[in-house]
Amino acid sequence: MKKIWAPAVLTAGLLVGLPSPAQAENVLANAGFETGSLGGWTCASGGSVVTSPVRTGSYALAGGVTAGSTGQCTQTVSVQPNTAYSLSAWVRGSYVYMGVTGGASTWTPSASNYTKLSVSFTTGADQKSVEIFLHGWYGNGAYHADDVELDGPGGEPQPGVPGAPASPRLGTVTDNSIALSWEPATGTVTGYRVYEGSALKATVTGTSATVSGLAACSSHSYAVAAYNDVGESAKSAPVSGRTGGCTDTGLPKHALIGYLHASFANGSGYVRMADVPDAWDIIDLAFGEPTSVTSGDIRFNRCPVSECPNVESDEEFIAAIRAKQAQGKKVLISIGGQNGQVQLTTAGARDAFVRSVSAIIDKYGLDGLDVDFEGHSLYLNSGDTDFRNPKTPVIVNLISALKTLKARYGEKFVLTMAPETFFVQVGYQFYGGAGGGDGRTGSYLPVIHAMRDDLTVLHVQDYNSGPVMALDGQYKNMGGAEFHIAMTDMVKAGFPVANTGHTFPGLRPDQIGIGLPAAIPAGNGHTSPAQVQQAVNCLVKGTGCGSYTLRGGTSPALRGLMTWSINWDNYFKWEFMKAHEPFLNGLP
């Protein structure tokens, strides 16, 4: 954030002319056997659905293995040509096999408890269907399977199967339940099934359902499928929500967030903590930086007098932080920035990160942490294609460190993130672990996803960015209202992650902010106050959206605006603050 850094600009030429990825979903019918039958499956004689042992839900498959039969069960589904898919199942028994007929397969010789089997494959150029199988081995006793998942875009539906339900939306949310509704599916419909992943959560005959028995303050993502006697439709787009019962962080509904140059001046001048206007609700101290790229040892060095002649003492700085907090403001340490490359490549670096960041938080009595990893801090190793289960050490160790810090400081710990579009929205087209490009594309997605229940605000930097393809299949350029509308809508609605077969679920509106430069010298992509407010009105109220249609719906609880930086805003006579603070306060 200190200076202009634009990897997305450098890679923008790679984006032109590529197709939008297809929607990803579990395309199997009755994937968890929760219909209580073998509906959708074809099994050898003796195959059945049982109530024990199960992994999740109420039912699982028992394969009818005999001396003359492997007890095979199959399901044929429509797929799209030249497309990546991931197949997985949880199995139990001796010599259990899973795979694609004529293609990839895997097996386990002995699983006394439910064990996950996984394979990935890519369909052929003209392939429109695939048969997946599960079976045991002759004479080795029954095997069990549950939560089978074929993750990827569906193909043409089977004749007579209803269409997918449309426009799922949240209804009443309580501390332990989430209500949903959706538009009726086309065709003959017997009922609807509500899924969370591959797990069936409700079966209803109408177009609404309430999922109960949920943990307080927990995030969930649901999709809906219609069914009749012929079969089950493709699933709807996912809708995400979080139950109530969360600890109040004390933030206003719509917040003004800014970075304070606390360790350098950057040409915009030093602003003492006591002189930061009361309009700023979250103040991010920039920056904590590592002693070396891979050490994990973070140091926060206050601006030296030689660079910042008006810098206050530590005692005055801490006293000013306490005064802000007494007013309900949150003061965080921001780690990284343009120059602070942080690669937690080892468990030792992870532990050093936790120790050193905790020491900074404790010394200054801060409210939490802002993750501003840029440059080469985050990347995905080749083959690391599932953002839900990352394998790359720098990703895994960062997630572990953040969870440890959250657990240490408790429910009131404020966690924010400030990635660039390159690391989030560009993941719609390119995901680093899938190969074929820069390994950093989309690399924030596994961190955001893992921390979604603990994340206070994600404010992606809508600047220093190249063109980014949005959910309407069109490239958007920074600097105008449409860029902010489209980029924010992606985070709210969620999106398929490149060609991985997985879909990133959207965040709640109260977790989403828009990142902006305060002035032209602060970063490429400065947007006039009028254009910023047009974007916010579109996102919050659904007005002034121009030709763009919101895929994630309106967001009345949108958290607010972030800027780089408080210092640059001061340098330009508080233009950003004066324009946007009363505007945010006037939103419903």
Tokens of 16: 């032109």
Burial 398-411 (b: 16+ CB within 10 A, else e): bbbbbebbbeebee
Q: Is 34 noted as a catalytic residue in this protein?
A: no
Rounded distance between C-alpha atoms, residue 458 and residue 555, angstroms: 14
* Token representation of residue 488: 């924010």
d(CA 292, CA 279): 36
Question: How many angstroms separate the CA atoms of 194 and 204, rounded?
Answer: 8
CA pair distance 304, 59, nearest whole angstrom: 65
Contact yes or no for 171/208 (Cβ under 8 A): yes
Dihedral in degrees, nearest 10, Cα atoms 319, 322, 324, 328: -170
| 346 vs 421: CA distance, rounded Å | 27
Q: Which residue among 34, 312, 374, 420 is the active-site one? A: 374
Residue from 107, 84, 131 nearest 383 by CA: 84
Among the listed residues 309, 288, 279, 471, the one whose alpha carbon sits nearest the alpha carbon of residue 368? 288
Contact in structure between 312 and 320 (CB atoms under 8 Å): yes
| Radius of gyration of the CA atoms of the chain, in A | 25
CB atoms within 10 A of CB 546: 12
Strands (E), 123-207: 129-135, 143-152, 166-173, 178-183, 191-196, 199-204
Residue with tokens 């109960």: 212
Q: Which residues are catalytic?
A: 374
